[in-house]
Structure 1
Amino acid sequence: MELELTRPQLVRWRSAVFAIFFASGLSIATWASRVPAIKHTLGVDNIQIGLMLLGAGIASIVGLSLAPIVLARFGARSGMLTAMLVFAVGVAIIGMGTDIAESYVVVVGGLILFGLGNGALDVMMNIEGAAIEKQSDKTILPLFHAFFSFGTVVGAGIGALAAWWGVGVVVHCSIIAVAIVLMAFVTHAMVPAREITMDPDEGEKRHWRERLHTSLSAWREPRTYALGVIMLGMAFAEGGANDWLALGMVEGHDTTAAVGALGLAVFSVSMTVVRVFGGPLVDRFGRVATLRVLAGLATAGLLLFILAPNTPLVFIGAALWGAGVSLGFPLGMSAAADDPAKAAARVSAAATIGYISFLCGPPILGFVSEHIGLLNTLYILVALAIASGLASGAARPIAGSTVGAGHRAEHR
């Protein structure tokens, strides 16, 4: 039997998921903003910092893989609460490991919890966002991802102020951890029961091998890999910008470091703006057409960024690049969740591809750039953006799903 939400219930549910996306972004920026202080206090080098990031990344992928099992066994309401508590504890341990224990091992332990909780939450909050889309019959996931971006902006700002005022890492991380715990319990109370939210339900308890078989089922579907191409191209291009755009302006276009940082800011603002306003565009023109246009914008922006003869055109290229990659990840997640019965496994698979792209993409670009130069290396992103556009047909809604189909016929 299909249960209907009242309007106030839907608003509370949607508000809770906005807050959860925000909390995830806040936690990530809290860690990232204090890396210099952590490095200084522990006396570690860049290689050790890289190993920290690797540990968190591997833990994230484990969390992504476990999320479908947690969803089926406990539901998103309890699963998201648990995941948020896990990464909140991880954030607190990062602070304590830095300023109290002054232990590299303790900080790595905190990062493992941080990555595990955030990875599991990534799947569950995207499935909740997709369920809200179906209840509303509107594309909302891009706006949810915009709130993740808002969380990173707020977290980075708080981190900058904490560093400026000389606030210790343990104090800063503990305050953020408490805030996340409070958000976890408040949002838990606002999320409806699993029957309404379209959570997968195991029914009778099954053997762990059966649950594992179900969670891995998406990897046997060709559509998963086609969606993976979309997310691979866009996640690679987004991660590449985060790590190499500013340096590309400095080394490739002879700008100052401040101008390079401003270029990255233009990219980030452009991406966030399109995420805020992207949902109505998708509802008007459909996922496939939107993704193809954005892939074209990303391609044009990258080429302009690489080839521009002056700084103003480089900034325009950065803005187009940011706009072009803005919706690849959220729309890929939305497409993966079209079928509620298989959403957990498919979103987990799609998110894993995206995470691996974020983890592996920037180091690969860095290695290649040592041989052919940074701007020339960005042609790899051009090729991936084109491939993403060519694979966009995979995001077409499946039979029975109307979210992301577009409504052009209504306007004739």
Structure 2
Amino acid sequence: MPTTVDTRRVRLAAASVFAVFLLSGATFASWASRLPAVRDALELAPDQMGVILFVGACGSLLSLPLTGRVIGAIGARRTVLAASGLAVVGMGLAVYGVTLGAPVLVAVGLFASMMGIGSWDMGMNFAGTVVERSLSRSIMPWFHAGFSVGAVLGAAGGTFASRHGIGLPVHLGVVLVVVLVAVIACVRGFLADPVESHDDDAGTRRGGRYARAWLEGRTLLIGLVVLAAALTEGAANDWLALAVVDGFGVTNDVGALGFTVFVVAMTVMRFGGTWLLDRFGRLAVLRLCTALAIVGLAVFGLVDDLPLAMAGAVLWGFGAALGFPVGMSAASDEPAHAAARLSVVSTIGYTAFLLGPPLLGLLADHVGYRTALLAVLVPLVASFFALGAAAPRPADTHEQA
């Protein structure tokens, strides 16, 4: 049993990691909620917005395979510090590009910012696993709920700024300064990283295990489940606000409110998801969430009544909440193979999360935002029939998510 001092230290670390997740969510949502203002300031067509977002996505994808080595070299604390600094500087450059009316500068800034956010995400998740091991409890869903809380706050702040005519430089400038100062304070509470083995033979064996994981049918089917969940969430992050504005002819603040509604619904489901999983089991909850996402997205994309479409956004948010974290749990059912399988599933999920929404923007240029979002129904329906792969292994003693 840990001493009282140790317990307090671990609890402080848990609070620190939760806060860093929250700050990451607030940073991303603050930008996402102001995308209509970015589009209007630069007078961009949907396909042009899609290209800019695609450039940002490429930044994150470039950072993902590199960050593991960075964490191994300098630790999670310094990785999060450096990555959050890059995210703040890059986003500041993107905002400056908006004020200059320079889309290329916006794309460059967003590329750098998304590189930082991708590494920030991996670094804080690693720090979360250190806390989990110290507590001997699975609390990662709470950390991801913290990200959602931050996203709610960021989206609400964007709604307020848009409604009251607060300019993009002032709004995001304040947010970025506060976030960076808070991250610097919070990472001081992180636990020390565990020491890893650097044995060459062990590294060779791990490399073979990672390669074989890409050939496992169950792992790839779980990847499909996570892909659909990630795309469902990512599409809302990038396009829901614009879909409300253009689809219903309302002002930008109403579009930001629509995004806020989605994020609130997703956050509520993430906090309640642990109880649902304990009560009804993994497969039942996954089936419920996937069905809610399908119904909610269809309602949002097809109805002409704004309040009813907002109700669809609520169901959409409920449905998007648990697929990613529960898919992570399913991939790690067997501890001996968890790292390799998580690597496969995470790569599939983040690729869908980052690249899928920009491609939807290219489609939206031809059919409109709301109709383009309906394309997400295809992987959602496919994943519904693949959910059996996420069933807990017989050797498991409980269905923990």
- The normalised TM-score by structure 2 is 0.77
The correspondence for 2:262, drawn from 261, 267, 273, is 267
* Counterpart-to-counterpart distance in 2, 1:205 and 1:217: 19
Aligned partner of residue 236 in structure 1, secondary structure: helix
- Measure, in 2, the Cα distance between the counterparts of 1:180 and 1:186: 10
Match of 1:357 in 2: 352
Separation in 1, partners of 2:308, 2:43: 39
Q: What is residue 194 of structure 1 aligned with on the other side?
A: 193
> Does the 8 A contact of 1:288 with 1:395 survive in 2?
yes
Which sits farther off after the overlay, 305-314 or 270-279?
A: 305-314
Deviation at 1:148, TM superposition (A): 1.7
Q: Does 1:152 align with 2:151?
A: yes
Residue 389 of structure 1 deviates from its aligned partner by 3.0
In structure 2, give the amino acid aligned to 1:193.
Answer: A
Q: Percent identity?
A: 38
CA gap of 1:305–1:219, structure 2 versus 1, over 3 A, is: same
State the 1:190 CA deviation.
1.2
Separation of aligned partners in 2, 1:36 and 1:256: 13
Select between 283-292 and 230-239 the one with higher mean Cα deviation.
283-292
Q: Which amino acid counterpart does residue 353 of structure 2 have in structure 1?
A: F
Q: Distance in 2 between matches of 1:222 and 1:140?
A: 28
Contact residue 127 and residue 347 of structure 1 kept, 8 A: no
Map 1:152-171; keep pairs closer than 5 Å: 152-159=151-158, 164=164, 166=166, 169=169
2:280 to 281, 285, 291: 285
In 2: Cα distance, 1:15 partner to 1:388 partner: 34
Q: Would the alpha carbon gap of residues 130 and 162 (structure 1) be closer, same or farther in structure 2, given more than 3 Å must change? A: same
Instruction: Tell me if 1:93 matches 2:93.
Output: yes
Q: Report the TM-score, using the length of structure 1 for normalisation.
A: 0.75
- For residues 376 and 113 of structure 1, the distance between their equivalents in structure 2, rounded to whole angstroms, comes to 31
Amino acid across the alignment from 2:78: S
Shift of 1:299: 3.1
Instruction: Say which is worse superposed, 348-357 or 129-138, in terms of deviation.
Output: 129-138
Q: Give 1:325's aligned residue.
A: 320
* Residue 27 (1) aligns with residue 27 (2): yes
Any idea what the Cα deviations from partners look like across 1:181-203, whole Å, max 9, x if unmatched? 323332322111222xxx7x243
Give the SS at the match of 2:228.
Answer: helix
Q: Which amino acid aligns with 2:79?
A: G
Classify the secondary structure of the residue corresponding to 1:194: coil
**How many Å separate the matches in 1 of 2:305 and 2:120?**
42
Please show how residues 24-173 of structure 1 align to structure 2 within 5 Å. Answer: 24-35=24-35, 45-46=44-45, 48-97=48-97, 105-133=104-132, 135-136=134-135, 138-159=137-158, 164=164, 166=166, 169=169, 172-173=171-172
Flag structure 1 segments of 5+ consecutive residues without an equivalent: 407-412
Question: For 1:328-374, what per-residue CA distance to the aligned partner results, in whole angstroms no more than 9, with x for missing partners?
Answer: 12222344456677666544543332333234434555666788887
Match of 1:257 in 2: 250
Look up the SS of the partner of 1:187 in the other structure.
helix
Q: Per-residue deviation at 1:66? A: 1.4
- For residues 209-260 of structure 1, give each alpha carbon's deviation from its aligned partner in whole angstroms, at most 9, with x where no partner exists: 99987876653444442221111112222334455657777888xx563677
Alpha-carbon offset, residue 165 of structure 1: 5.7
Give CA-to-partner distance per residue, 1:141-172, whole Å, 9 cap, x none: 33322322222332344445556465562x55
Q: Distance in 2 between matches of 1:98 and 1:251?
A: 21
Comparing 82-91 and 19-28, the one that deviates more: 82-91
1:61 CA displacement: 0.6
Instruction: Give the Cα–Cα distance (whole angstroms) in 2 for the partners of residues 372 and 389 of structure 1.
Output: 26
Unaligned runs of 5+ in 2: none
Aligned mates of 2:316, 2:27 — CA distance in 1: 26
CA–CA distance in structure 2, aligned partners of residues 114 and 24 of structure 1: 12
Task: Tell me if the contact between 1:68 and 1:345 (Cα under 8 Å) persists in the aligned partners.
Answer: no
Task: State the Cα distance separating 1:309 from its structure 2 match.
Answer: 9.1
